[in-house]
Amino acid sequence: MSDDRVKLDPAWKARVGNEFERPGMLALAEFLRHEKAAGKVIHPPGSRIFAALDMTPFDQVKVVILGQDPYHGPNQAHGLCFSVLPGVAVPPSLDNIYKEITRDLGHARPDHGCLVPWARQGVLLLNSVLTVESGHAGSHQHKGWEEFTDACIDALNRERESIVFLLWGSYAQAKGKLIDTRRHRVMKAPHPSPLSAYRGFLGCAHFSRANEYLRERGLPMVDWRLPALAQLQIA
């Protein structure tokens, strides 16, 4: 996992590239090699592990949505939290996100689960942990990823202004300690999982509130609508 082989937006690489040489990341790389050698299937594919950081350049981030770890089912994870590629069924948490967008903004529910258009608008869809063993949720927690994604959040916090951080669930909210709320807007809600969405995620209005914050600061708002599958371009 040397940084010369990692596909990253250059501005991100300039800020977190040195993380790949830290002992924790070297140990993580060895752990991943060992797991693959043992025949375990890891999600997402290696080429997509850092897709969130490559697709949403550092200087263009205006909203951060923090997930926990990738989907652990076949063909689901592709490097953007909560997102799945076209042709993959919409997972329950994303379905609740769509329900809240419809309730909050009136947008029709998309006919797919691909959030690439959000990423291209400056919505960083970053999981706290970037890999997972197939069929085993949370299996790569506390292996070193958390320190790496902490470094990503820390860089945004220190070098950027007026970013909206949407922290859903306790795992994402733990990153809140890294964010200066005098310079950025932090919004918290329960996780959109069916187990917790009814406790306050549904009704949180984070999507309209994020846009209001951006509008008040003269920044481009996010178009939370997603194109129909037939019009979707992800290449």
Q: Of these residues, 9, 54, 69, 104, which one is catalytic?
A: 69
d(CA 116, CA 123): 9
* Phi, psi dihedrals of residue 186, rounded to the nearest 5°: -110, 125
Phi and psi (nearest 5°) for 66? -100, 125
Cα separation of 139 and 215, whole Å?
40
The residues, any chain, with a CB within 8 Å of residue 213's CB and separated by 6 or more, are 162, 164, 185
The alpha carbon dihedral of 144, 189, 109, 57 has a sign of negative
Question: Closest Cα partner for 53 from 190, 149, 182?
Answer: 149
Q: Which helix (H) or strand (E) holds 67?
A: strand 63-67
Q: Which contacts of 99-102 are long-range, i.e. CB under 8 A and separated by 24 or more positions?
A: 99/202, 100/192, 100/201, 100/202, 100/203, 100/204, 100/205, 100/206, 100/207, 101/207, 101/224
180 is catalytic: no
Residues annotated catalytic, as ranges: 69
